[in-house]
Amino acid sequence: MIDARVKFRHLQTFVEVARQKSVMKAADLLHVSQPAVTKTIRELEEVLGVSVFERDGRGIKITRYGEVFLRHAGAVLTALRQGLDSVSQERSGDGPPVRIGALPTVSTRIMPRAMANFLKEETGSRIKIVTGENAVLLEQLRVGDLDLVVGRLAAPEQMTGFSFEHLYSEQVVFVVRTGHPLLSAKQSVFDTLGVYPVLMPTRASIIRPFVERYLIANGIASLPNQIETVSDSFGRAFVRASDAIWIISTGVVAGDIEDGTLAALPIDTSETRGPVGLTIRANAIPSMPLAILMQTIREAAAEISAAVANSAERR
């Protein structure tokens, strides 16, 4: 059982003092007198049995016990805050919409299907879908502007504070219009690659490094005629109308390949294979509609992997 002496007030005060590194400032922020803050901290230390701050010259310094407790206290407060407005927005009928970021890979195949299933659930909540560059989306996720990002797993440095749930793996392909000379070429594709314009993922995208590594590994140092784009609609239109080569995630062009408007070059790109999944803030508790949406996305992903497995006998 939890020690009944602890109140939220203790945690709030503690966190505020820790943030301000000053009793005075904290007292100001909290609109109470300075001794009140000191007293509250004393009470907290009483319960914990250790000091969380120590005098440091004219000010104070957090102790290592304080450091540790701070994280927990923060967790408690954010959890509570979330809890409170999770219902208050649930009450108001249409709360803020569930905001999700979808990388291009999933926005053509997975998301439409997932949304169809989601709407069947009749949750009544609105959904906002943002497509964009990975770095941007993750930053928005971190700040809380988004609740969920669906796409490739980002580089580990960017993943701190996030948790990732694997859905399926996919790779990068080199696609061209059907009837493209390279499709019937006798010699190695890589030799003549430089002849055609190439559409690359932008530098900020997740797959870019994979692509670069792959190109280097295959003896291609730099490509002329390089165009960087995030827009899949542009890419699609451009590649259809020219002899350009589009280096892009399978998911984006799966449909086009299937109905024969585009074709993948016959090269082994399995090196560029990597996980696609759901990224959320690590300790956030998903709201009810979000939880449902995540579930429908999982299902959609499962359906599609199954379909792919059947039709192409992959694996």
Sort 51 into a burial class: Cβ within 10 Å, 0-12 / 13-18 / 19+: middle
Report what 315 binds from a copy of itself, DNA, none; CB cut-off 5-8 Å by kind: none
Q: Check residue 308 for interaction with a copy of itself (CB under 8 A).
A: no
Q: Check residue 142 for interaction with a copy of itself (CB under 8 A).
A: no
CA atoms lying within 13 Å on the CB side of residue 97: 8
Q: Check residue 38 for interaction with DNA (CB under 7 A).
A: yes
Q: Check residue 64 for interaction with a copy of itself (CB under 8 A).
A: yes
3 or 259: CB nearest DNA: 3
Sort 28 into a burial class: Cβ within 10 Å, 0-12 / 13-18 / 19+: middle
24 or 68: CB nearest a copy of itself: 68
Distance CA 129, CA 106 (A): 12
Report what 128 binds from a copy of itself, DNA, none; CB cut-off 5-8 Å by kind: none
Report what 22 binds from a copy of itself, DNA, none; CB cut-off 5-8 Å by kind: DNA
Q: Check residue 19 for interaction with DNA (CB under 7 A).
A: no
| One of 125, 250, 272, 287 touching a copy of itself (CB under 8 A) | 287
| One of 156, 184, 187, 222 touching a copy of itself (CB under 8 A) | 156
Q: Check residue 307 for interaction with a copy of itself (CB under 8 A).
A: no
CB of 303 to a copy of itself, least distance (A): 20
**Considering only residues 198-227, where is the footprint of a copy of itself by CB under 8 A?**
217
Distance CA 35, CA 37 (A): 5
Q: Check residue 261 for interaction with a copy of itself (CB under 8 A).
A: no
Q: Check residue 39 for interaction with DNA (CB under 7 A).
A: yes
9 or 113: CB nearest DNA: 9
| One of 11, 18, 23, 239 touching DNA (CB under 7 A) | 23
Q: Check residue 58 for interaction with DNA (CB under 7 A).
A: yes
CB of 180 to a copy of itself, least distance (A): 29
Q: Check residue 61 for interaction with DNA (CB under 7 A).
A: no
Taking CB atoms within 8 Å and a gap of at least 24, the contacts of 2-9 are 3/47, 5/43, 5/46, 5/47, 6/44, 6/47, 8/77, 8/80, 9/40
Q: Check residue 90 for interaction with a copy of itself (CB under 8 A).
A: yes
99 or 281: CB nearest a copy of itself: 281
Q: Enumerate binding residues for DNA (CB under 7 A).
A: 5, 7, 9, 22-25, 32-36, 38-42, 53, 55, 57-60
Q: Enumerate binding residues for a copy of itself (CB under 8 A).
A: 2-4, 6-9, 11-12, 47-50, 64-65, 67-69, 71-73, 75-77, 79-84, 86-88, 90-91, 121, 153, 156-157, 159-166, 169, 217, 274-275, 277, 282-283, 285-288, 291-292
